[in-house]
Amino acid sequence: MRSPPLRWSSGVLRRVGLTGRTVVIGVPWLWLLLFFVIPFLIVLKISFADTRLGVPPYTPLLDWVDGKYLQFRLNTGNFMFLLQDSLYAQAFLSSIKVAFFSTVFCLLIGYPMSYAIARANASWRNTLLMLIILPFWTSFLLRVYAWIGLLRNNGVINNILMSLGIIHEPIVMMQTDFAMYIGIVYSYLPFMILPLYANLEKHDQSLIEAAVDLGCKPFRAFMLITLPLSKPGVIAGSMLVFIPAVGEFVIPRLLGGTDSLMIGRVLWDEFFLNRDWPVASAVAIALLLALVVPIMIFQRYQLKATQSGAAVAGGRG
């Protein structure tokens, strides 16, 4: 039995539509509204404005003209500019290219790793997973800087190779695409491994045994059974790597060459060097759209997979 004041107040709350259920659901919605929808609308608004000198450095959309007309000006010029200047299209394409190849590398490295962890002795599994997660305990920036220490001309790798006499002058690795790929793949690998592991770990080993029993050699059994059943994990991992990698700014900036054209970097330059907030906002909006489409494809796929029940691998009962 609830005490009278509590009953009274919960009655009042219910009358205004606040029950425990709506509060629990409401908190994340409120969070999304405050920190995603409203900022997005602000950026959207700025992307349709003009630049001007002053604070803020863009024109308002609504304006009083002659003290009596309410003028609504929508400047689509920023988006036209993105289409006209090939710099932006190139930056988009090269970002997508970098993100794509990073995803492929992450997949090639991450799949065997997750497979090995999932097949490892149960007592080892948690330790191995811990080793994957452990780098997250250090700052992301510190880890990228650590790579600079490894890769630069008088860095650890070059010093070791030279002292062993394998090379006589340092290999230039910093400020190259090579270093950038290493940085991205290194940073995003756990995001590939974890969903893949979660999928592979659920696989029923007797499926492989059944395939082998029916005349499959082990590798073929892997290709015919394990690989198709791990598709949801592959897609989840690839999305988790690809989407943030497209907008990646810090790693290309710190490890990549000055000529590396990434959309995140273009965004940064528009914002802080050119102080052209409207064009920067337009870039951000375009980037968001480019990323939302793959997410929607992914969700559609997941929905389809759960509907057909194929998302869960392995035998039941």
Partner 1 sequence: MNARADERREPWKDPRAEAYIRVENVTKQFGDFVAVNDVSLSVYRREIFCLLGGSGCGKTTLLRMLAGFERPTSGRIFIDGQNMDGVPPYDRPVNMMFQSYALFPHMTVEQNVAFGLKQEGLRRAEITDRVADMLGIVKLKGFEQRKPHQLSGGQRQRVALARSLIKRPKLLLLDEPLGALDKKLREHTQFELVNIQERLGVTFVVVTHDQEEAMTLASRIGVMNHGRIVQVGTPLDIYEFPNTRFVSEFIGNVNMFEGRIVEDEPGYVVIQSPELGTPIYVGHGVSAAPEAVVWAAVRPEKILLTREPPANTKYNCAQGTIKEIAYMGDLSIYLIPLDSGKTVRVTQPNAFRHAEARLTWDDRVWVSWHESSAVVVTE
* Contact residue for partner 1 among 146, 212, 254, 288 (CB under 8 A): 212
Q: To the nearest whole angstrom, how small is the minimum distance from the Cβ of residue 194 to partner 1?
A: 22
Binding map of partner 1 across residues 213-242, x = CB under 8 A, - = no contact: xxxxx--x----x--xx-------------
DSSP letters, 212-249, are: HHTT--HHHHIIIIIHHHTHHHHHHHHHHHHHHHHT--
Burial of 224 (0-12, 13-18, 19+ CB in 10 A): middle
Q: In the complex with partner 1, which residue's Cβ is closer, 117 or 211?
A: 211
Query: Tokens standing for 35?
Result: 């920190």
Q: Would you count residue 316 as binding partner 1 (CB under 8 A)? A: yes
CB of 315 to partner 1, least distance (A): 4
**Could you tell me the smallest distance in angstroms from the CB atom of residue 219 to partner 1?**
11
CB of 196 to partner 1, least distance (A): 17
303 binds partner 1 (CB under 8 A): no
Among 71, 206, 274, 299, binds partner 1 (CB under 8 A): 206
In contact, 304 and 195? CB cutoff 8 Å: no
Name the token pair of 191: 């995001």
Instruction: Please say whether the beta carbons of 216 and 224 come within 8 A.
Output: yes
> Which residues contact residue 272 at a Cβ distance below 8 angstroms, ignoring those fewer than 6 apart?
none
Separation between Cα atoms, residue 302 and residue 293, nearest integer Å: 14
Query: For the CA atoms of 298, 304, 306, 312, what is the dihedral angle to 10 degrees?
Result: -80
Q: Does 96 bind partner 1 (CB under 8 A)?
A: no
Interaction of residue 207 with partner 1, rule CB under 8 A: yes
Residue 285 as a binder of partner 1 (CB under 8 A): the answer is no
- According to the binding rule CB under 8 A, does residue 210 interact with partner 1? yes
Return phi, psi of residue 139, to 5°: -60, 140
Candidate ranges 201-209, 254-262, 268-276, 285-293; the one touching partner 1 (CB under 8 A): 201-209
Task: Give the binding site for partner 1 (CB under 8 A).
Answer: 204, 206-207, 209-217, 220, 225, 228-229, 308-310, 312-317
